[in-house]
Structure formats: C-alpha cells, structure tokens
Amino acid sequence: MAGTVLVTGGSGYIAGFTIRQLIAEGWTVRTTIRSLSREAEVRGWLGVDNDRLSFFAADLISDDGWAEASTGCSHVAHLASPLPAGAVKHEDDLIVPAREGALRALRFARDAAVQRVVMTSSVAAIAYGHPPGQTTFTEADWSDPAAASTGAYPRSKTIAERAARDWIAAEGGALEMVTVNPSLVLGPVLAPDFSASVEVIKRLLSGSLPGLPPLGFGVVDVRDVADLHVRALTAPGIAGERFIASGRFMTMAAVAQVLRDRLGDQAAKVPTRRLPGWVLRVVALFDPMVRQITGEIGRTRATPATHAHDVLGWTPRPAEETIVDTAESLIERGVVKV
C-alpha cells in the first residue's frame, strides 16, 4: 500500500532516508522544513523524484503550515524533534518543542482524517532513571523523568512520548499512533549538516578524544531506522505499539577497535588509551556537556529489538558495517581529514 504521507522534519538525518525509501516504494511524500529557503538544498541531497515530493514550511512550536501539510495525507511520520549537539541552557529548550511538536502533529493529523501516525521517540524514553543493576530494557520499560540521573534529552523524549500517548487516548478518535524508539543512530551521511549522533564517529576518527571513556550505547543504522518507520506505517494490528530500533550494545573501546581493524591507516588518529571514569567526572566539573553523560559511566543499556523482528520482520544490519559506513562517508565528504 502506498498513499500520501507527511514526513515532518524533512532536513533531518532519519527523515532523509525515510523520504528516500518511501518514494522508492511508490508513496507521494510531503515534508516540513522550518524555512522554504532550504528547499532546493534539501532536494539536492535527497536526490529523489521531485514530482512526488513537496515541501511545506512548519515549525514545532507554531500552528502555521500544519493544516496545509496534513490535509490529504493518509499517513504521517513524525520525525521532527530537537537533538542537541551540546549542552542546553535549559531543559525546556528540548522538552517544550518535543512535546508541543508531537501534540501539534497528532492534532492536525486527526483533523485531516489521517489513518496512522508513526512517531520517532527514542530508547532515551525507555532506559533511563532505572536502578544501576538493570542492564537490559524492553518496550515495556519507561524512563523516569523525575530521576536525578535522567538528563535533559531523555527527559524530553519521555515527556513527549507520554504526552502523545495520553492525547491519543483522550482525543485521538480513530487516529492510530505507533512509536519507533531508536538507540544511537549512525550510518552514511547525506549532507555536511548531519545528525549530532554521528559526532561519536567523527571525534574518534579525528583524534579529538584524548582517550576512550567507559561509555557505551546500542548502535543502529539510519537506513534500518528509516525502514522500520516505513514498515510501521502500514502493518496491520499494531496501533499503540512501541518498537525499539537497536542493534547490539557496544562500548567506545569496541567501536574504536572496529575502526582500527577495518580502516587501517585511515584510523590512525583513533585513540587506543582507555580513560578511567574518574577523569570524566573531573572534567564534568568544568564542562556542562560532559556533565550530562557522567551517569553513563560504566553503565550497560542493552535494548534488544526482538519485538520489531517478531512483529514486523525487521532485522538491523551488523553494527560493524554501520560503523565503517559512517566513517567512510565522513571521510568521503571531507568532514574528517585523515
């Protein structure tokens, strides 16, 4: 089945690959960007059939443009949400647009008689604020936004997804909603303006990290995350479901080893020395960005995608392939000099 779908946040990392797949599968795609002055640029790096792609100006914190973008759509993929590249001045800078943007997308979708909204959430809405002994998390888990260890980004994703689900229950009518909850999204970049999540590989390749901190994350490919969104748009009988999009949990040391093993001389700047956790804690006293991740030191947050595999037949590609493709893309585009 292919109808007309609105993809919000069309200049975003996951959105770009989602738009590409949707058009390849026969959908007519509408997408939102904050300013139409970027339309030509975004069309250029998407490289798709322009006759089946149209742009609308809309912002997460304003009603302007949403009715026009939504009217006539059978489905919505709500991918637009703030992802900080560094420390934020106030958590509301993330929470307010994430929550209000989700509610705005749902409200206009309902009013336009859209069948289903697939919303991008995150494992950040699943795996934070739990006791240190818990190392594996599923779709049944929810992050605790009130916990002191839950940072601004996990808090924003949890509050936004909770608010969206509460709204659907109270006011959604016949509108269905499904969420996709990715872990750390890596993969090839389409443009120099790439996602903050790719900074991990950029910093390792460029040698800007003095060593390898005791941190880790689930790795998932942006192409596979896009594919899960597309599957979730039309699969029957999944209203209200959550789907984790993640591969295996990897430490920074393991990611660095993949780069060295697979890239040879191009990985010459990748650090080999491991940093003890106390070093990060000292740096955090002076660096607000580092302060946000001290709760991750030594933690394992495995988020198996068993549910997405069992229900939607989704299987992510090997993490090693994703890591190498990310690195080669950054090198090819000149983002990293090796």
Cβ count near 89 (within 10 Å): 8
pLDDT score at 298: 75
Determine the angle formed by the axes of helices 92-111 and 152-171, rounding to 10 degrees.
20
302, 220 in Cβ contact below 8 A?
A: no
Work out whether strand 216-221 and strand 249-251 pair parallel, antiparallel, or are unpaired: antiparallel
Residues 275-313: tens digit of each pLDDT = 887 777 776 676 665 655 666 777 889 999 999 999 999
Q: Give 104-153 pLDDT, tens digit per residue.
A: 999 999 999 999 999 999 999 999 999 988 999 999 999 999 998 888 89
The neighbour count for residue 267, using CB atoms within 10 Å, is 21
DSSP assignment string, 81-145: ----SS--S-THHHHHHHHHHHHHHHHHHHHTT-SEEEEE--GGGTSSSS-TT--B--TT----T
- Rounded distance between C-alpha atoms, residue 233 and residue 196, angstroms: 26
C-alpha triplet 252, 258, 261: angle, nearest 5°: 140
Question: Which tokens belong to 165?
Answer: 């689900």
> What contacts 325, CB < 8 A, 6 or more positions away?
187, 188, 221
**pLDDT given at position 215:** 85
pLDDT for the residue numbered 288: 63
Phi, psi of 135 (to 5 degrees): -120, -10
The catalytically annotated residue of 157, 202, 269, 337 is 157
What integer pLDDT is reported at residue 6 of this predicted model?
Answer: 98
Q: Is 194 left (phi over 0), alpha (psi -120 to 50) or beta?
A: beta
For the chain, 338 residues long, the average pLDDT of each consecutive 10-residue run is 91 95 97 96 92 96 97 97 68 91 98 98 95 94 92 93 98 98 96 81 90 91 98 98 97 96 96 83 67 70 97 97 97 89
> Does the active-site annotation cover 157?
yes
CA distances from 128 to 20, 22, 70, 248 (A): 32, 32, 33, 17
**Coil vs helix vs strand at 255:** helix
Topology at the third CATH level for domain 4-332: Rossmann fold (3.40.50)
If residue 278 lies in a helix (H) or strand (E), which one and from where to where?
helix 277-284
Predicted TM-score (pTM) of the model is 0.94
